[in-house]
Amino acid sequence: MTPATSQSRGAKTVDAVVIGAGFAGLYQLHCLRDRLGLSVQVLEAGDGVGGTWYWNRYPGARCDSESHSYAFYFDEALLQEWEWSERYPGQAEIMRYLNHVADRFDLRRDIRFNARVAGAEYDAASNRWHVRTEGGEHYVATYLITAVGCLSAANVPDIPGRENFDGRWFHTGQWPQEGVDFTGKRVGMVGTGSTGIQAAPVIAETAGHLTVFQRTANYSIPARNAKLTEEFKAWAKANTGEIRGLMQASTNGHPFLIQDRSAHDVSPEEREAIYQAAWDHGGLKFRASFRDLLTDKAANDTAAEFLRAQIGKVVKDPKTAAVLANIDHPFATKRPPIDTGYFEAFNRDNVSLVDLRASPIERITPNGILTRDGAEHPLDIIVFATGFDAMTGPLLRMDITGRDGVTLQHAWREGPKTYLGLQVSGFPNLFTVTGPGSPSVLTNMPVCIEQHVEWITDCIAHLRANGIPCIEPTPEAMEGWVAHVNDAANATLLPQAGHSWYLGANVPGKPRVFMPYAGGMARYRATCADVAARGYDGFVLG
């Protein structure tokens, strides 16, 4: 791309371009346009709002944050008028919510749909970003804000033979709008992360046969989803301030605190009872049973043992149960899934499990999937629940070029480097909502998104009020933050899941760097506020 002004003819000039119309992009547009009075153009690849939830419409797609917490908290009237129906919001309900938000704040008029950004280039002479879409549109903006999500770049594994498969295949993160009819079909599902664990029981309801291909066995906790009672809905509406305060004070942005007790403080019987109560209650709160589950391997082992034992209690076939429980990483070092009937699904006659650790996939044949033991599993449909090129993927799939022609791909060749997950040295006025180095995926995302969007909005307001043309971090501040992100991860057991997407290990050739900030949302929020209060310490303004 050439940002020369001669090329700018026909370009639309705005104060800010925001990429993406999910939770982050919608709120960023609202803040910049309706609070600061800026002209804003949102560019969105899909033909509707929703971001991650627009693309992830696979069977069983549901959020694992509880619905009363998986919402914007910036507007009390919005909180009061919206009503969630279930304990965890399903994909369709989240889409209804985000469409409601878009209408309520009249956001659509500044969103261009079907406009996938191909690249953006910074022109130092004019201090402007030149942003181009794949459709050839050109926008010029002072501020460029990526709101592209962390889990939006689908990771379709490059398994030999896929192109010769006679059936149909789908990635869960690029699910067809019209849905997929599994009735009577032989379905193979590859992947047993949060997505596969949600999808399998639903696919099994209509499929002729479902074969689950498991490479890494996974813990899962029952969601215990249910319709919300009128009492709960009334309580949540009457206590929005308290809920907001709790989410902002908590480590993960959820409306509950981690118990301040060690797993070693209690007797084995008490511990079992605590785990049993958390299992019966369901959901991510299980992880909050003790403060040291993510820092002390022996403490973690107690939770891991409890969870493995539950698999044996649910799954009737002992061989299948053993393969499902053969988990090789500490509990919650990969994002812990929560499920509705996942392990129970293996008690159905039409569901079987293939252990890829014992016999990996050799290739895809025209008829199905061939494993190394010579077994060919005949299939009509393959579902890849194989995750994402997380956090960096959505950013690096665009060509972003900063000062002196340095590309983001080059700047991040050894792994992502940001200051606070918000900015990259050499890329002035580029802000990355929930970028690598921010708590993002380790938290309840809307909480993290609101904090980022508000920080960026305040920062831009500060620049404009003081006539400051641009902001970017110093290389030293950025390196210091990268080291801090590493230290925060290494203080936990999180890096022990060597094959997790937190580390980029699921994408061949991706640098192994622990990407999200594991220091906790409350601490992170305080750090960001402190940096701003000290005149944007660590940033160059001017």
Residue numbers at the binding site for ligand N01 (CB under 6 A):
62-64, 151, 157, 159, 190-196, 198, 215-216, 335, 356, 361, 385-388, 441, 499, 501, 506
Cβ burial, residue 227 (10 Å; 0-12/13-18/19+): exposed
Q: How far is the CB of 221 from ligand N01 (least distance, A)?
A: 11
**Of 193 and 416, CB closest to ligand N01:** 193
Cite the DSSP H helix spans in 369-512: 393-396, 408-411, 445-465, 475-490
**Of 5 and 352, CB closest to ligand N01:** 352
Q: How far is the CB of 217 from ligand N01 (least distance, A)?
A: 9
**Of 85 and 127, CB closest to ligand N01:** 85
**Of 67 and 133, CB closest to ligand N01:** 67
Q: How far is the CB of 26 from ligand N01 (least distance, A)?
A: 18
DSSP letter at 494?
G
**Of 100 and 162, CB closest to ligand N01:** 162
Q: Which amino acid is at 81?
A: E
Extract the tokens encoding 266: 């209690």
**Of 282 and 402, CB closest to ligand N01:** 282
Q: How far is the CB of 123 from ligand N01 (least distance, A)?
A: 36
DSSP per residue, 17-67: EEE--SHHHHHHHIIIIIIT---EEEE-SSSSS-THHHH---TT-B-SS-T
Distances (CA, A) of 55 to 47, 85, 185, 200, 535: 10, 22, 23, 18, 39
With b for 16 or more beta-carbon neighbours within 10 A and e for fewer, the 93-107 pattern comes to: bbbebbbebbeebeb
Pairing of strands 12-19, 40-43: parallel
**Residues facing 419 on adjacent strands:** 423
**Of 115 and 284, CB closest to ligand N01:** 284
Q: How far is the CB of 218 from ligand N01 (least distance, A)?
A: 7
Question: What is the 3-class SS of 412-444, one letter each residue?
Answer: CCCCCCCECCCECCCCCCEEECCCCCCCHHHCC
**Of 244 and 334, CB closest to ligand N01:** 334
**Of 438 and 506, CB closest to ligand N01:** 506
Q: How far is the CB of 356 from ligand N01 (least distance, A)?
A: 6
Q: How far is the CB of 382 from ligand N01 (least distance, A)?
A: 11
Q: How far is the CB of 397 from ligand N01 (least distance, A)?
A: 17
Cite the DSSP H helix spans in 239-330: 240-249, 268-281, 297-314, 318-324
Q: How far is the CB of 150 from ligand N01 (least distance, A)?
A: 8
DSSP per residue, 69-111: TSS--S-HHHHHH----BSS-BHHHHHHHHHHHHHHTT-GGGE
